[in-house]
Structure 1
Amino acid sequence: MAQITAQMVKDLREMTGAGMMDCKAALGETSGNVDAAVDWLRKKGLSKAAKKADRVAAEGLIGVAVKGTKGVVVEVNSETDFVARNDLFQGLVKMIADVALDVGADLEKIKAAKVGSKTVADAITETVAKVGENMTLRRAAEIKVGQGAVGSYVHNAVIDGLGKMGVLVGLESTGKADELAALGRQLAMHVASANPLAVDPSGLDPAIVTREKDVLADKFKAQGKPANMIEKIVESGIRTFYKEVCLLEQPFIFDDKKSVTQALKEAEGKVGGPIKITGFVRFKLGEGVEKQESDFAAEVAAASGVTKPN
């Protein structure tokens, strides 16, 4: 029987995106023949897909698609970053984003939508079987404007429209579409960098504002400030807080001497009309998902029966 090394397992995993133990088993069953091992993994297919559903999927890709006055962003998760480099997975995420552009951001509608003779849910299941890792369509969102443009930006892009972070910004305006699109991209880059919580103070969760006021009040009470002074200090502090978390009040990353509101006002002359930001969406890969930490070298060694050196 051919000796199965850690490097062989690692190489097969990079080629197929399949799980570590699956790669070891495939090489064992095919006497170390890599091409035959790839085929063995593919033939296992759907019989193993269901077993992967309980594994943590916190890697993957964010997909962004924009057409005219509508844009969508989706997050499709996998177990490892290897899969994000797999052509099959990238094609799946691209297809899901395109479907969402047609049917909207409701996850069940996206999964039920048909692409050719199969549903998106079927396509996900088949890709799980071929690649060998759990995958989930975790979330989706859309931005639409009546007239204007939807700006987009993908951070750490692996290919066009796919990356580790995706942002959409809606711009309502009667101005020039090409100028709006360029401005929209800058604003989307700003959102990616500055991570605002809302467009303006009216869009903030009241609970967040209350909590911030309580923190400020308690801080100055502890310093022995009188009640009438604390109230004024808290109001001043809240205005500063708004500048930190509200998009329109943040310093514009392309010129931090002016706010986003001021930058918009200046852009109106070039665009040829008033501009209103109607909303934004910012998806960062894996945010809110508890990831499993692992020692990759030890995992490879354990899977191939090789002891990791100290």
Structure 2
Amino acid sequence: MAISAAMVKELREKTGAGMMDCKTALNETNGDMDAAIDWLRKKGISKADKKSGRTAAEGLIGVAADGPKAVVVEVNSETDFVARNEAFQSLVKDVAQVALSTDGSVEAISAATYPGSEKSVNDTIRDAVATIGENMNLRRAAMLSVGEGVVATYIHNQVADGLGKLGVLVAMESAGDKAALTQFGRQVAMHVAATNPQGLSADDIDPAIVEREKAIFSDQARQSGKPENIIEKMVEGRLRKFYEEVVLLKQAFVINPDLTVEKALAEAEKEIGAPAKITAFVRFALGEGVEREESDFAAEVAAAAGKR
């Protein structure tokens, strides 16, 4: 497969590795981007462990809570200018409130009646598109609930009450003091916003991801030339470290790095006055996973000049 300059550039942006190393990696893996990233990691060349998708969507994240239930929604717009518009902010806030009365799915929220009107949320957003003159859509939504306890919320970079660029929900089950439970839950939500864990416990991590990490760790360890039994222990140690980095309960708590989140929860139970459990979390960062093609301004100017 022919390796293009664009492929090399893409791999460099994703890994931080040098151009020649990226070209070699792509040649070695026949142009497979994921395999090339793994190849660079095995060689210790890659400066980044995972892809960082470029944010393509503007808009706002909205959260709304009602005791043992909370929702988070993402409503996108084309520009940040529109996201700063009070009418748009009011729209997102209303959509989040409507979501509380549904099952939390995009379909149910879109079909629900918008507050103060006879129109659906979907039709209201469509009307807003016509009024504002910019494309908008309810991209995704999630709901968490508990039988007894609270669902804590946190908005990072808040632009208005319940609105911002990053939103987190944390479900806390306990029969203890609701105020103390909410306070600790909010701290955990802030932690999730900062660390972006991949799962609540080790069991929540995709087995395919774990196997991929083990394979990379094994190849790295074998380069040391040590015996297989030593390599096995090295891999086990690296895997434990991996879980400490990506599993919420095993991560060092950002509020108190001397404790893991799991141990911080045990400490918090003294204030809560009863056993407590984190049952789930959701983290929405605006535009994550959505990519748009970057325009080369210099190339556009050159092309325009050439047309004269």
1:102 alignment counterpart: 101
- How far does residue 294 in structure 1 lie from its aligned partner after superposition? 5.9
Three-state SS of the structure 2 residue aligned to 1:202 is helix
Partners of 1:68 and 1:92 in 2: CA distance: 23
Instruction: Give me the TM-score of the superposition, normalised by structure 2.
Output: 0.76
- Residues 277-296 of structure 1: matches in 2 within 5 Å? 277-293=278-294
Q: Which of the pair has more CA radius of gyration?
A: 1
1:66 alignment counterpart: 65
Instruction: Give me the TM-score of the superposition, normalised by structure 1.
Output: 0.75
1:218 alignment counterpart: 219
- How far does residue 88 in structure 1 lie from its aligned partner after superposition? 1.4
In structure 2, relative to structure 1, the CA distance for the partners of 1:146 and 1:231 (3 Å cut) is same
Partners of 1:233 and 1:100 in 2: CA distance: 48
- Residues 102-181 of structure 1: matches in 2 within 5 Å? 102-115=101-114, 116-181=117-182
Three-state SS of the structure 2 residue aligned to 1:118 is coil
Partners of 2:293 and 2:234 in 1: CA distance: 43
Q: Is the 8 A contact 1:57 1:77 kept in 2?
A: no
Aligned residues: 243
Q: CA RMSD in A?
A: 1.8
Partners of 1:210 and 1:223 in 2: CA distance: 20
Three-state SS of the structure 2 residue aligned to 1:77 is strand
Partners of 1:63 and 1:80 in 2: CA distance: 17
Q: Is the 8 A contact 2:103 2:143 kept in 1?
A: yes
2:187 alignment counterpart: 186
- Residues 1-310 of structure 1: matches in 2 within 5 Å? 58-115=57-114, 116-293=117-294
In structure 2, relative to structure 1, the CA distance for the partners of 1:153 and 1:251 (3 Å cut) is same
Q: Is the 8 A contact 2:75 2:140 kept in 1?
A: yes
- How far does residue 104 in structure 1 lie from its aligned partner after superposition? 2.1
Which amino acid in structure 2 is aligned with residue 264 of structure 1? L
Three-state SS of the structure 2 residue aligned to 1:99 is helix
Q: Is the 8 A contact 2:197 2:248 kept in 1?
A: yes
Cα shift readout 1:140-198 (whole Å, capped 9, x = no counterpart): 01111110111110011110000000000000001111111111111100000011111
Q: Is the 8 A contact 1:57 1:136 kept in 2?
A: no
Partners of 2:241 and 2:76 in 1: CA distance: 36
Cα shift readout 1:87-135 (whole Å, capped 9, x = no counterpart): 1111111111111111022111111111230000111001111111101
Three-state SS of the structure 1 residue aligned to 2:284 is strand
Which amino acid in structure 2 is aligned with residue 275 of structure 1? A
Q: Is the 8 A contact 2:56 2:291 kept in 1?
A: no
Three-state SS of the structure 2 residue aligned to 1:103 is coil
Which amino acid in structure 2 is aligned with residue 186 of structure 1? Q
Which amino acid in structure 2 is aligned with residue 108 of structure 1? E
- How far does residue 225 in structure 1 lie from its aligned partner after superposition? 2.2
Which amino acid in structure 2 is aligned with residue 288 of structure 1? G
Q: Is the 8 A contact 1:57 1:80 kept in 2?
A: no
- How far does residue 292 in structure 1 lie from its aligned partner after superposition? 4.8
- How far does residue 208 in structure 1 lie from its aligned partner after superposition? 1.0
- How far does residue 57 in structure 1 lie from its aligned partner after superposition? 6.7
Partners of 1:108 and 1:199 in 2: CA distance: 27
Unaligned 5+ runs, structure 2: 1-54, 301-308
Partners of 1:57 and 1:213 in 2: CA distance: 32
After TM superposition, what 4+ stretches of structure 1 lie above 4 angstroms from structure 2?
292-296
Three-state SS of the structure 2 residue aligned to 1:276 is strand
Give percent identity, aligned residues only: 57
Partners of 1:239 and 1:57 in 2: CA distance: 34
